[in-house]
Amino acid sequence: MSTLRFLTAGESHGPSLTAILEGVPAGLALDLERIDRDLARRQQGYGRGGRMKIETDKVKILSGVRFGETIGSPITLSIENRDWQNWQERMAAFGEPHGDKVTAARPGHADLTGVKKYAREDIRDILERASARETAMRVAVGAVAKELLLALGVTVESAVLDIGGIAADSAKREAGAAQRAASELNCCDSEAQERMKERIRAAKEAGDTLGGIFEVRVSGVPLGLGSHIQWDRRLDARLAAAMMSIQAIKGVEIGAGFGYAALLGSEAHDELFCDEDGRAYRRTNRAGGLEGGMTNGEEIVVRAVMKPIPTLMRPLHSIDIEKKEPVLASKERSDVCAVPAASVVGEAMAAFVIAEAFVEKFDSDNMCDMKADIEAYKKRTEET
């Protein structure tokens, strides 16, 4: 069985970020402008920090693509870290190392656990890789997955639902992707946006940070991706794991999610009906497009909650790992709020998981065979 898989490499302030993506069928046309557009979306959003003024992320494709089309071999993606050059120039001018040694651990980060696990004496050895800068490469990988899905008639979109306890207007958050993409907070309700921005401004003035909730929706997916047979093939579990792998994500729900706790069984499930041709349909989608670990043909709806970023300009109490004494946590250049950016990363991870499920089910070396297999499968399942 073929599979889609990727690995990323690189540190926050290293020369570049890199990924190798394997399993993409040959014959997929890639739009580099769309990939770079997703990278730009990740860098936007009210509340982002100074790093976003330095980096202008653009992807370079080093292998696996010729004349704009995949050729079936592993795809190598690279994104330059422009801040690396700043560090080089600083060392040349002042003789300073690439970042001073960090010994004051930040609560809520990988700092303390990481230095103990890997037997390091400098927290920078941990924070450089644990940094959410790594998600730039995940967005690039996810953008390639979105290109595959788009060729198969599947779209992936995201929206911010809540920042710091201020919710977007649910009646307006169904607006199109183009409108959301033009929004500073990836949220269509302008009144809610202003309240969110004010909340972010207040947090920044206080040296604090904010979290929130985002939602990812995947449309056009046929029924039957994933499986109920084994725990690790259940697609809802894989989507949840992908979301939880994103830095600072602490909770995930699918469909009605935690709202199920307040519902009766008679209220919780999506009843089935027959149309005039005898085909089944649902009037509701509380399951979020997934039943028994498999897609059921409805829109996939996943939400995730992001905790406030642990790097504060008004640092929390911590310890110095070298001096073994109480200190205030170290400060690193950071965001006040990165929920809009996290929504773009969530979009990328959801796209990868769904693309992976397509590759597993419709095991093809090239796009022609994959499309033919999908059409035959859709015809059979619609007839039955």
Q: Which of 304, 156, 163 is nearest to 244 (CA)?
A: 304
Residue 331 is predicted with a pLDDT of 78
376 vs 355: CA distance, rounded Å: 18
235: confidence class by pLDDT, cuts 50, 70, 90: very high
Interval 189-217 mean pLDDT: 93
Q: Is the pLDDT of residue 89 over 60?
A: no
> Which residues make beta-bridge pairs with 155?
219
169 vs 174: CA distance, rounded Å: 9
Q: Which of 178-182, 268-272, 324-328, 354-358 has the lowest mean pLDDT?
A: 178-182
Tell me how long the chain is: 384
Interval 207-211 mean pLDDT: 95
177: confidence class by pLDDT, cuts 50, 70, 90: very low
Q: Given its phi and psi angles, is residue 168 left (phi above 0), alpha (psi -120 to 50 degrees) or beta? A: beta
Residue 179 is predicted with a pLDDT of 46
Residue 23 in 3-state DSSP?
Answer: coil
pLDDT digits (tens, 9 = 90+) for 249-274: 999 999 999 999 999 999 999 999 99
Say which residue, 192 or 357, is predicted with more confidence.
Answer: 357
H/E run at residue 117: helix 111-117
Interval 278-307 mean pLDDT: 97
pLDDT digits (tens, 9 = 90+) for 151-162: 999 999 999 999
311: confidence class by pLDDT, cuts 50, 70, 90: confident
Strands (E), the chain: 5-9, 16-22, 59-63, 65-66, 69-70, 75-80, 155-163, 166-167, 212-219, 249-254, 272-274, 280-282, 290-291, 294-295, 300-306, 317-320, 325-328
Q: Is the pLDDT of residue 176 over 60?
A: no
| Residue entry with tokens 């899905």 | 149
Helices 367-383 and 339-361: crossing angle in degrees, nearest 10, is: 80
Say which residue, 95 or 67, is predicted with more confidence.
Answer: 67
Q: Residue 346: which residues within 8 A CB-CB, separation 6 or more? A: 158, 214, 216, 243, 246, 249, 302, 304
Interval 169-173 mean pLDDT: 57
| Residue entry with tokens 């894989």 | 238
Structural domain containing residue 234: 5-383
147 vs 155: CA distance, rounded Å: 9
Q: Given its phi and psi angles, is residue 30 left (phi above 0), alpha (psi -120 to 50 degrees) or beta? A: beta
**Domain count within the chain:** 1
Mean pLDDT computed over every residue of the chain: 91
Say which residue, 56 or 291, is predicted with more confidence.
Answer: 291
Interval 264-291 mean pLDDT: 95
- CATH code of 160's domain: 3.60.150.10
For the sheet with 5-9, list strands across it.
Answer: 5-9, 16-22, 75-80, 59-63
241 vs 346: CA distance, rounded Å: 11
| Percentage of the residues of the chain whose pLDDT score is greater than 70 | 89
Three-state secondary structure string covering 250-289: EEEEECCHHHHHHCCHHHHCCCEEECCCCCEEECCCCCCC
Interval 171-198 mean pLDDT: 68
Residue 304 phi, psi (nearest 5): -140, 150
* pTM for the model: 0.92
Burial class (CB in 10 A: 0-12, 13-18, 19+), 282: middle
Residue 187 is predicted with a pLDDT of 77
334: confidence class by pLDDT, cuts 50, 70, 90: confident
Residue 186 is predicted with a pLDDT of 80
pLDDT digits (tens, 9 = 90+) for 7-61: 999 999 899 999 999 999 999 999 999 999 999 999 988 887 665 556 689 999 9
Q: Is the pLDDT of residue 245 over 80?
A: yes
90: confidence class by pLDDT, cuts 50, 70, 90: low
73 vs 180: CA distance, rounded Å: 35
